[in-house]
Amino acid sequence: MQAPVFEIKHNSLEDGPGIRSVVFFKGCPLNCAWCQNPEGKNSVSELWWEKETCISDGSCIEECPENAISFDFPHFIDRELCTNCFLCVDVCPSSSLKVSGSSMSVDEVISKIIPYKTYFETSGGGVTLSGGEATLYMKFISQLLQELKHAGIDTLLQTSGYFDLEAFEDFILPYTDIIYYDIKIMDPLQHKEWCGLDNEVILSNFTRLHARSLTQHFKLLPRTPLITNITDTEENISSIASFYKSLSITRTTLLPNNPLWLQKLGCLGISGDHIMNDEVGLIYPAGKQEVIRNQFNGFGIDVDFG
Ligand code: SF4
Ligand code: SF4
């Protein structure tokens, strides 16, 4: 059994408690305009170009059989012409061209994680599955989670919540200690506009999992990305807070926009025009974070910032 992975990051202090290894899966059913990991959207391997290190010697242009590379193209590589043969990667002298994503087996993933087990044990950390959307590969991550638990390693899943709940309860839940669950936009039409699909499945899955989390072994922690004029509007924050209050949820995490993802779009040859407003290219302002914290506090909900 194999699944597409675009990165395994070690010694992370940001993706859950303690020191963690994070496995990023490739592929997602949603298409959020502000996705912080745009290389996780597409399930197939993609060409990644880092402009900053390119020495412009043109080796890739000569090598490409499809004439898909030119200094005259707006994004250097014409993705319509590119067939992902990756011949150009082999000739690039500065490693500016890379392949994003590779198909891995459970054993391969485990072998990269096990050397870090001592760090997990001494720090209260573990392994985080992220993406993309890891639940696209239910049976694969079920096996991976079981092997991690068998090795005595704590597990955390970051999810958009867009999955088949019955399969999730059978394959994933028994082997997951913590779930970070994204609640982005409450209005179904706006959710569809900005994330590609409406939120009915996401909200109903969350409600059911929250009820189970009250009596079962796992923790369910909701999170909301703060994206200027999209997720952070007064109306959306109030709707999210009301939803939590109706479930007696008293704590949430907010993820202020970090514009680093805009650089990643460039590496994939994607224009950021679909999302740009005056502020989305900036670090999210601290003052606005406090306004939104106060809004949640007004509903009796404490806020952490991630
Ligand atoms: S991956 Fe192949 S087709 Fe695409 S730009 Fe490189 S050499 Fe050309
Ligand atoms: S081969 Fe590499 S360094 Fe040379 S032009 Fe292409 S991307 Fe840039």
Q: What is the pTM of this model?
A: 0.93
CA–CA dist 141, 145 (Å, integer): 6
Task: Output the pLDDT for position 189.
Answer: 97
Question: Tens of pLDDT along 30-52?
Answer: 999 999 999 999 999 999 999 99
Mean pLDDT of the chain: 95
Answer whether 47 contacts ligand 1 (Cβ < 6 A): yes
In this structure, of 72-81, 151-160, 203-212, the range with the lowest mean pLDDT score is 72-81
Residue (of 151, 106, 159, 156) closest to 126 by Cα position: 156
pLDDT class for 283, splitting at 50, 70, 90? confident
Question: Tens of pLDDT along 193-219?
Answer: 999 999 999 999 999 999 999 999 999
Residue 56 confidence (pLDDT) above 90:
yes
Task: Output the pLDDT for position 276.
Answer: 62
In this structure, of 132-136, 224-228, 240-244, 256-260, the range with the lowest mean pLDDT score is 256-260
Q: 303 near 221, Cβ under 8 Å?
A: no
Domains, in order of start, for the chain: 2-44+101-305 (3.20.20.70), 46-100 (3.30.70.20)
CA–CA dist 212, 201 (Å, integer): 17
The rounded Å distance from CA 59 to ligand 2 centre is 6
Question: Tens of pLDDT along 95-109?
Answer: 999 999 999 999 999
Answer whether 68 contacts ligand 2 (Cβ < 6 A): no
Collapsed DSSP state (helix, strand, coil) of residue 43:
coil
Ligand index nearest the alpha carbon of residue 46: 1
